Structure 1
Amino acid sequence: MIRIVDVAKEANVSTATVSRVISKSGTVKSDTKERVLKAIELLNYQPNVLARQLRRMETKTILVVVPDITNTFFSKVLRGIESVAMESGYQVLLGDALNNVDRESGYLNILQQKKADGMILLTARIDGQVVEDIAKQFPVVLACEYTEGFEIPTVSIDNISSARKATEHLINLDHKRIGFLSGPFNSVLGRDRLKGYNQAMAQHSLPILSTMVQEGDFSYESGFNLTLKLLANEVPPTAIFAANDEMAIGAIKAIKSKGLSVPGNISVVGFDDIKFASIFEPSLTTVAQPSFDIGRIAMELLIKIISKVNLEKSQYILDDKLVVRESCKRLI
């Protein structure tokens, strides 16, 4: 078996120099580095990564907990995380919480057992105090969501103002009876997007009717079924704002199933701007999140924490954008 001393002998350098080239640490002259790399290639040397990780008490693995892997919004977030992780030599371990708080909490054990160097949570349903206590002991970053009143490194958008913006778009198109398909009320996203809807309605002196607000679970099925409930009202809504695109698409299918058209009879706005939003018919007006950047910044932040770099900033609020497409029109 080829050893590091064999590489050092072939390159006529010390084993410490070979180690610095492999780990990309310290300064090595370019010509020396080139000799070492040629020796590694010539001898087909395979560094004992596991031994090095054990010496440093690191795994070069990070855990990402997703609330629901079937929700396509998270694909771009994960791609952003993966892009930085690969460049930095980290592997990504994915945990699907299946929208279950107990399952989410169970993933914390992976950190406590030191099977990962850090964790990115894409969900905030776990008790905030529990997460903050873990974050004091291990590298943890919260992305897409946040916890109120706790100082946990976070990357997200302002969901309240984003939802207010989406609702105001419908109000500016002269809609007054606007139904809202919320996410779960026990989730920060569900609560914040409901707050944004309520704020817009109140600011324009429009009634907030309990029958016009339905609690969903961010799934296509809940969007479909809850829209049927909205349409069963004696006076149905002229527009619907759904707290994510999957529910919005479910809403459009439900409207069509009743022989109505979008936006001819009812306008619909979604949230997230998943890829399908632009190719669905009609194409969906929605709030676009910078999902790739959320993932990228979250991973960069986590690496800084792992590397014990002092954070100049730990709370990132990124910009969103209302993307206007075909699913809305002015009320005649």
Structure 2
Amino acid sequence: MQERVTMADVARAAGVSSATVSYVLSGKRPVAPETRAAVEAAIAELGFTVNSTARSLRTGRSSLVALIVPDIANPFFAQLAATLQEELRGLGIHVVVCNTRARRDEERALLAEAVQQRFAGVVITPFRLLPRDFEAVTRAGIPVVVSADVPFGPVDQIMPETRTATRQALERVTAARRRRIAMIAGPRDATGGDPRLELLRTLALQFGTSLPRELVVRGEHTREAGAAGFAELMDRRYRPDAVFCGNDVIAVGALDKARELGVDIPGDVALVGHDDAVFASLVRPQLTTVRYPAEEVGRAAARLLGERFDGRGVHRTVRVRAEFVARASA
């Protein structure tokens, strides 16, 4: 039987130390391009793979990280999953994607499963969880990274910085003399409320307009909810002339309903999404949106987990800046 190729074998073939091979695989430290090329050539020639099984036996943990998201059909979360997997591959870590359908019971069950299976880590976008729901995971010593708009207590967290981008979206809308601002927002029982709604309401006042209660409709972050919400807004006595959406999936549902009702976008109503999902530039009219980069969120989550694997004890919060993307819908 052929013996397994080790990191030391790769190091000898490349003429470097085993530590350098580790740095190339994990990305924890910079490596000169020519050195990286030599290591990668040795890896390819020898057929080296990371022995995650041996590490699991040594640490008592699996080589799996759970990525728990509310809607895997949303391209934002698909891109997040792809980036996280790519970033963790060099550490011999594999990503298991878990879909909660934004249900609290599913979220709690998946956290319990991560503890039972001794996962190496958890990255989660919670929808209806509370900070106390993470206590069992953290007590088990499993690193947790939360991606959310509101703080979740003593865990590592990724939070968006969207104020500037939202302000720019409002500038564009109000510059076109649109004053009746509406929003298709998320459900009332989401943990922490709806920070995107509250930010829009606060900033609207600075532009001499407002976001009145009667022009806010709520629903899940789905295409169907977007269509229903847009229809409800168009049935108001005083129709809005600009509609902001909690995410791009909602906005696509609104576009569907606008076509059905004969409402011109952006002639009659300006439409603004959130996230800049891959389809935002493919729909017609192309969707004006606030870009929250899923790739950056994935990279930040991988960095936070890697630091935890290396023994960092202090919790960190990483802020990811959003950008305004002007297209044809507003």
TM-score bracket for the superposition, by shorter chain length: 0.7 to 0.9
Distance 1:165 1:205 in 2: 15
Q: Decide whether the 8 Å contact of 1:190 with 1:243 is kept in 2.
A: no
Name the SS of the counterpart of 1:169 in structure 2. helix
What pairs with 1:180-219 in structure 2 (closer than 5 Å)? 180-187=183-190, 191-219=194-222
Q: Decide whether the 8 Å contact of 1:163 with 1:194 is kept in 2.
A: no
Task: Report deviation, 1:114.
Answer: 4.0
Distance 1:132 1:163, change over 3 A: farther
- Pick from 241, 259, 263 the counterpart of residue 238 of structure 1: 241
- Pick from 176, 201, 208 the counterpart of residue 173 of structure 1: 176
The higher radius of gyration belongs to: 1
Task: Report deviation, 1:292.
Answer: 0.2
Distance 1:47 1:224 in 2: 47
1:307 lines up with 2:310 in the alignment: yes
1:91 lines up with 2:94 in the alignment: yes
Partner of 1:66: 69
- Pick from 272, 287, 290 the counterpart of residue 287 of structure 1: 290
Distance 1:207 1:310, change over 3 A: closer
2:82 corresponds to which letter in structure 1?
Answer: R
Name the SS of the counterpart of 1:265 in structure 2. coil
Task: Report deviation, 1:162.
Answer: 4.4
- Pick from 254, 258, 261 the counterpart of residue 258 of structure 1: 261
Partner of 1:14: none
2:73 corresponds to which letter in structure 1?
Answer: T
2:72 corresponds to which letter in structure 1?
Answer: I
Name the SS of the counterpart of 2:151 in structure 1. coil
Partner of 1:327: 329
1:119 lines up with 2:118 in the alignment: no
What pairs with 1:10-21 in structure 2 (closer than 5 Å)? none
Greater shift in the superposed pair: 104-113 or 287-296:
104-113
1:134 corresponds to which letter in structure 2?
Answer: V
Name the SS of the counterpart of 1:263 in structure 2. coil
2:101 corresponds to which letter in structure 1?
Answer: L
1:183 corresponds to which letter in structure 2?
Answer: G
State the identity as a percent.
25
Partner of 1:17: none
Distance 1:46 1:206 in 2: 59
Distance 1:189 1:221, change over 3 A: farther
1:81 lines up with 2:84 in the alignment: yes
Deviations for 1:56-102, whole angstroms, at most 9, x for unmatched residues? 31311111101111111112211220111112211111111111111
**CA-atom RMSD, angstroms?**
3.3
Distance 1:325 1:302, change over 3 A: same
Distance 1:45 1:88 in 2: 13
Name the SS of the counterpart of 2:159 in structure 1. strand
Distance 2:154 2:69 in 1: 21
Structure 1: which 5+ residue stretches go unaligned?
12-19
